[in-house]
Structures are given as C-alpha cells and as structure tokens.
Amino acid sequence: MLTTRPIGVFDSGFGGLTILKEIQAKLPQYDYIYLGDNARAPYGTRSFETVYQYTLQCVRWFFDQGCPLVILACNTASAKALRTIQQNDLPTMGAEKRVLGIVRPTSEVVGNYSANKKIGILATTGTVLSNSYVIEIHKFFPEVQVVQEACPIWVPLVEYGEYKTAGADFFIKKHIDELLKKQPRIDTVLLACTHYPLLEKKIRNFMPVDVTILSQGEIVANSLSDYLQRHTKMEQSISTNKMTTFYTTDDKDNFNKQAEIFYGQHIDAQQIHL
C-alpha cells in the first residue's frame, strides 16, 4: 500500500475547496487530503470554544492520516482556533508538524491592492468579531482603514444552493449597503470567507464598479508556495504522487453533489466519523 504524507486542507464545509483548487493549480505535484466538517457547519456563528474544539479534532485527524502540514482553509477557524492550536496543542502533537491559516497570508498582501487605503472586509460573524483581519492588516499596513461587515446569511445561501436565486439578491445587497454605509470610499473589498467566491458575480452587481473584489485562493496558494520554498525540510516531507482524497463528516452523496460547484469537477468523497 502506498504511504502518503499529504498536505491537509480543512474547512467547515465546502468553502475550502475554492482554496484547494487554487493551491493545486499552483502546486500540482503534491498529495492532498481535503476534509469538510459539513456535519457541524456552519462554524461562523459558533463560539470561540466550539470552533476551537471542532477544529482541533479535525487537525488531529489530519495528523493521524500522516499529514505533516495542515492548512485551515477557513477564515473562521483561522481567526478563532489557529493561534490556540499553534501555541497550546501543536507542541504536544509532534515537533515537525505545522498548522497554517489563511488570515495572515491574506493580510500580508491585501493593502497592496488599495490605492486610497480603504478596505472592506466581508466575512462571517465569527471572523468579524474576532477582529483578526483588522489586527493583522494593521501589522503590515498601519495606514489602512479597515471596515468590516458580518454577513451571517451568506454561508447558508451557498451551502443550501440558494445563492443564484432572486432571494439571495436581497441579502447580498443588504450587507454591501451596510458595508458602504460604514465607508463609502472603499476601493478594495476582501471576500474573507471561503464560501463567498461563489457569490462574486452577485456581489459585483451591487458594488460600485471601480471597487476591486478580492478572493483568497490565489493569495493563499502563492503564500504556501513561498512557505514551502523557505521550509525545505517540510517541503521534502510531503509526498508527491499528485493524489487528492476528499472526506466529509456528513453524508457523502450530498457532499459529492454540492462539492462540484465549489471545486469545478466531480468529487468522490468518503464519510468519516470523528
């Protein structure tokens, strides 16, 4: 049997597939395991403690599968669980194992896209309340004004396949209007939830035409590529058979049906019980 040491890519549900797709396009040589914790999604409205416990459980599962590196391809998990896992849990889980998130790599570059240094963040309630983007962006771009808007209904619209409907328009416009009320001169908006790229067309319809709308996939892929170039020991420990396997904590048939929309091709996932 082939022993693999894949990169683990995690999300509360389907959204991380939008990140995995871009990572694979940039780094096709590696093996990957994707896990969506669909049975317990959405994470965005859950407490810190709950998101931390769920995420930690999934990270342990990835390590049990032989992953040397896990990417939390979920802003909510990155914002609410990553730091505690890195500081408290990782030291007890194996010296050479790593968990990386997507808030920091995005914050490192997002300021470069804004000419007038006014950036809007659209995210889950959990990500907004954590204030992680405001804190991280200011580390790299102290002069940038960051305004945030939580869009709690957007993930369910996507997860339940209602995101193309006329009903979705109401909720999309509502949160964009709220964001623009906070700062009408925003010139860059970050879709800081991995589900939101599916809403991009509709978001664009309600956003002033000159606003740049950023998704994270490519940003995260570039950052991971850079990380692996700088960490050669880690890079060499990842297996390179170009194999990807998909897992969900919920019903696999439902996952396979929905996942294709996010990933762009058919997926044959297996269900796991944590």
- The set of catalytic residues is 74, 193
> What are residue 101's DSSP bridge partners?
none
Per CB under 6 A, the list member of 124, 223, 244, 248 interacting with ligand DGL is: 124
- 194 in contact with ligand DGL (CB under 6 A): yes
- 148 in contact with ligand DGL (CB under 6 A): no
- Cα–Cα dist 69/59, whole Å: 10
- 220 in contact with ligand DGL (CB under 6 A): no
Could you say which residues in the range 44-73 bind ligand DGL, by CB under 6 A?
Answer: 44
**Shortest distance, position 158 Cβ to ligand DGL, whole Å:** 9
- 38 in contact with ligand DGL (CB under 6 A): no
- Cα–Cα dist 202/229, whole Å: 37
Helix (H) / strand (E) containing 62: helix 48-64
- Cα–Cα dist 22/18, whole Å: 7
Q: Is 104 left (phi over 0), alpha (psi -120 to 50) or beta?
A: alpha
Per CB under 6 A, the list member of 100, 155, 199, 220 interacting with ligand DGL is: 155
> What are residue 120's DSSP bridge partners?
147, 189
Q: Which single residue brings its beta carbon nearest to ligand DGL? A: 44
At 193, is the secondary structure helix, strand, or coil?
Answer: coil
Task: Please tell me the count of residues contacting ligand DGL according to CB under 6 A.
Answer: 17
- 36 in contact with ligand DGL (CB under 6 A): no
On whether the CB atoms of residues 247 and 50 are closer than 8 A, the answer is no
On whether the CB atoms of residues 220 and 102 are closer than 8 A, the answer is yes
Which residue's CB is nearer to ligand DGL, number 200 or number 235? 200
**Shortest distance, position 160 Cβ to ligand DGL, whole Å:** 13
- Classify residue 233 by its DSSP letter: H
- 13 in contact with ligand DGL (CB under 6 A): yes
What distances in angstroms separate CA 141 from CA 24, 98, 131, one per listed residue? Answer: 29, 26, 15
Per CB under 6 A, the list member of 43, 54, 262, 263 interacting with ligand DGL is: 43
**Span near ligand DGL by CB under 6 A; candidates 27-35, 41-49, 85-93, 253-261:** 41-49
**Shortest distance, position 127 Cβ to ligand DGL, whole Å:** 5
> What are residue 36's DSSP bridge partners?
11, 248
- Cα–Cα dist 180/175, whole Å: 9
**Span near ligand DGL by CB under 6 A; candidates 6-14, 139-147, 201-209, 244-252:** 6-14
- Cα–Cα dist 209/223, whole Å: 28
- 17 in contact with ligand DGL (CB under 6 A): no
**Shortest distance, position 57 Cβ to ligand DGL, whole Å:** 15
Give the binding site for ligand DGL (CB under 6 A).
11-13, 15, 41-44, 74-76, 124, 127, 155, 193-195
